């Protein structure tokens, strides 16, 4: 198995360990005769030395991935890149990072204290992007961060791992579209992120997306186990642009609301 396959397998196994719904959804789709194709994988991090986007993308870039477009999410204090691989069968990659210096002094200090616990040189490991949490965190720190940035609290609690995998609706054969798939999921008890509507985007923007709400799972913190939102499953339908090719990028306004799939409720 190649290094890139190994990394994606590790990301998937870590993701499904804290996202029980992912395996259930895949089983339901396969039972309908579907072949599941992954549109993209998303990672989250802090914009700090050793944790920045360039630290997470290193192994992917070494394996042929290249940045295709950058994005800014000013309200959430994030920037991001999406990456594509010359082999079109490979999923796209979406890596975002929080501008820690734009948070309050208290939140910035809390995050820097967490990051300082990371072993020097950890980012050189080929599986760094799937290496999990490199620090101890307690519930008080988590809650203080969540009060200011749900994204910050999520990264602080879960570390480096896939935030979501994405089912390509274009490759599904038994659904008429994203609305049909959403109805299928709702009928089977899954909760969808309805911030801005269950479907974000439209054919005119060349991309429609929807997502489940994150599972709540118990994770171990310094002061004991706590239940918090983990990860979710996304669904994407892409449309052809004027050149006849399927749009490969992302729509910032839609992605902004998708981020909220991990917010506490």
Region 99-128: mean pLDDT is 96
- As given in the structure block, the two tokens for residue 183 are 């109805």
Q: In whole angstroms, what is the distance from residue 62 CA to residue 240 CA?
A: 30
Residues 6+ apart with CB under 8 A from 187: none
- As given in the structure block, the two tokens for residue 101 are 């210096």
- Single out the residue of 155, 145, 141 nearest to residue 48, CA to CA: 155
Categorize the per-residue pLDDT at 75 as very low, low, confident or very high, splitting at 50, 70 and 90. Answer: very high
Q: Where are the domains of the chain?
A: 3-262
Region 130-137: mean pLDDT is 97
Helix (H, G, I), strand (E, B) or coil at 81: strand
Residue pLDDT, tens place only, 18-66: 999 999 999 999 999 999 999 999 999 999 999 999 999 999 999 999 9
Q: Is the pLDDT of residue 265 over 70?
A: no
The chain-wide mean pLDDT, for the chain, equals: 96
Q: In whole angstroms, what is the distance from residue 154 CA to residue 45 CA?
A: 9
Sheet holding 92-98, edge to edge: 66-73, 78-84, 92-98, 38-46, 162-168, 232-238, 207-211, 200-202
Percent pLDDT > 70 in the chain is 99
What CATH number does the domain located at 3-262 have?
A: 3.10.180.50
- Single out the residue of 51, 44, 98, 103 nearest to residue 72, CA to CA: 98
Q: In whole angstroms, what is the distance from residue 208 CA to residue 227 CA?
A: 31
pTM assigned to the model = 0.95
Give the residue carrying structure tokens 């008429």.
176
């Amino acid at each position: 198995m190649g290094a890139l396959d190994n990394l994606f397998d590790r990301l998937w196994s870590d993701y499904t360990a804290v996202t029980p719904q992912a395996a259930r959804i895949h089983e339901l789709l396969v039972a309908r005769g579907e072949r599941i194709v992954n549109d993209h994988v998303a990672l989250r991090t802090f914009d700090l030395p050793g944790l920045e986007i360039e630290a997470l993308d290193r192994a992917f870039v070494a394996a042929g991935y290249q940045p295709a477009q950058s994005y800014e999410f000013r309200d959430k204090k994030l920037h991001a890149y999406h990456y594509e691989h010359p082999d079109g069968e490979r999923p796209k990659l979406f890596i975002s990072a929080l501008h820690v210096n734009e948070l309050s002094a208290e939140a910035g200090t809390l995050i820097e204290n967490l990051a300082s616990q990371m072993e020097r040189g950890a980012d050189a490991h080929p599986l760094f992007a799937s290496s999990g949490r490199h620090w101890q965190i307690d519930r008080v720190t988590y809650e203080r961060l969540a009060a200011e940035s749900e994204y910050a609290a999520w990264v602080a609690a879960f570390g480096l791992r896939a935030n979501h995998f994405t089912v390509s609706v274009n490759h599904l054969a038994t659904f008429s579209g994203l609305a049909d798939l959403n109805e299928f999921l709702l009928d089977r008890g899954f909760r969808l992120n309805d911030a801005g509507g269950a479907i974000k985007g439209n054919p005119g923007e060349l991309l429609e997306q929807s997502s489940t709400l994150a599972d709540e799972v118990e994770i171990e913190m310094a002061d004991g186990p706590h239940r918090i939102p983990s990860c979710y499953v996304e669904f994407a339908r892409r449309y052809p642009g004027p050149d006849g090719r399927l749009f490969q990028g992302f729509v910032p306004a839609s992605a902004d609301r998708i981020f909220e799939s991990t917010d506490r409720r």
